[in-house]
Amino acid sequence: MEVVDAILLGIIQGFTEFLPVSSSGHLELGKAILGDESMPKESLLFTVVLHFATALSTIVVFRKDIWEIVKGLLQFSWNKESQFSVKIILSMFPAVFIGIFFERELESLFGANITLVGFMLMITALLLWLADNAKETGKKISYKNAFIIGVSQAIAVLPGISRSGATISTSVLLGNDKNKAARFSFLMVVPLIFGKIIMDLRSGNLSSQTENVSALGFGFLAAFICGLIACTWMISLVKRSKLNYFAIYCFIVGMGTIIFGYYN
């Protein structure tokens, strides 16, 4: 893989992992437009590196929150930090279930149906528009809400459904505070990313023998830096109720993708 290609993929991963526009949908759209031979196929190792970079950027942005949670857990008491951790764990169950029992079915949805991506982007646009126009509340995320938000995260494995868009929108539509919704959305994905990385490492399928170390390094840096920018920017946008811009973007791209898929 060329360094320029690695940087490009890192930028796409870094920005679209946090902005509500669907990273998987954009990568599938890019492959369809450029052709499978034009865009280099990501190896498993490179994919793991990019996801590790975006997970690390989340940890950096929310380092104070994460440290408070860790300190709360170390105290072995039923405080707000330990309660928040339980909610994070509850939110993980739907995605873990889907990942374990429907892995092959999910893989079949990628690289073959660009029209599906278009329709899913339209759904993302609708969710963002509804969330942006929801009434402001100060409600905290309950255990029931955490599980429901986890269900939306599991559904977001479909290419074109934005994970951050789906989880933040679901949380806001449930009546939760927008700031708390964004914080929960970004923190809930960190354990899943690291869990997936550990599973890939244990699978024995990772190999760096054919990888360009420079490409891996530059791809990691691009994803990490863009992830920092996108994560911080997204929190600010949610606070100011600016999701409509992304709703319009997803609607336009979704319509264009459907038309592109119809004529190709």
Each residue's pLDDT tens digit, 2-34: 788 788 888 888 888 888 888 777 766 666 665
pLDDT band at 38 (very low <50, low <70, confident <90, very high): very low
Q: Which pLDDT score, from 0 to 100, does residue 39 have?
A: 45
What is the average pLDDT value for the chain, to the nearest integer?
A: 80
Q: Which is nearest to 29 in space by CA: 120, 129, 107?
A: 120
Q: Which pLDDT score, from 0 to 100, does residue 94 have?
A: 92
Half-sphere exposure of 109 (CA within 13 A, CB side): 18
Give the residue, 1 or 63, on which the prediction is more confident. 63
Q: Which is nearest to 130 in space by CA: 91, 175, 86?
A: 175
Distance CA 21, CA 91 (A): 21
Q: Which of helix, strand or coil describes residue 139?
A: strand
Q: How many domains does the chain have?
A: 1
Backbone angles phi, psi at 103, to 5 degrees: -60, -45
**What proportion of the chain, given as a percentage, has pLDDT over 70?**
82
- For 145-173, the pLDDT digits (tens) are 999 999 999 998 888 888 888 999 999 89
Give the residue, 106 or 195, on which the prediction is more confident. 195
Q: Which pLDDT score, from 0 to 100, does residue 110 have?
A: 58
Instruction: Give me the domain span that covers residue 111.
Output: 3-262
- DSSP conformation letters of 239-261: HTT-THHHHHHHHHHHHHHHHHH
- For 210-261, the pLDDT digits (tens) are 556 788 889 899 999 999 998 888 888 877 767 888 899 999 989 988 888 7
Residue position matching structure tokens 């994919």: 47
User: Comparing 61-65, 103-107, 181-185, which segment has the lowest mean pLDDT?
Assistant: 103-107
pLDDT band at 41 (very low <50, low <70, confident <90, very high): very low
pLDDT at 42 over 60: no
DSSP structure class, residue 176? B
Distance CA 35, CA 258 (A): 17
Q: Which of helix, strand or coil describes residue 86?
A: helix
The mean per-residue pLDDT over the stretch 95-118 comes to: 73
Crossing angle of helices 44-61/63-74, nearest 10°? 80
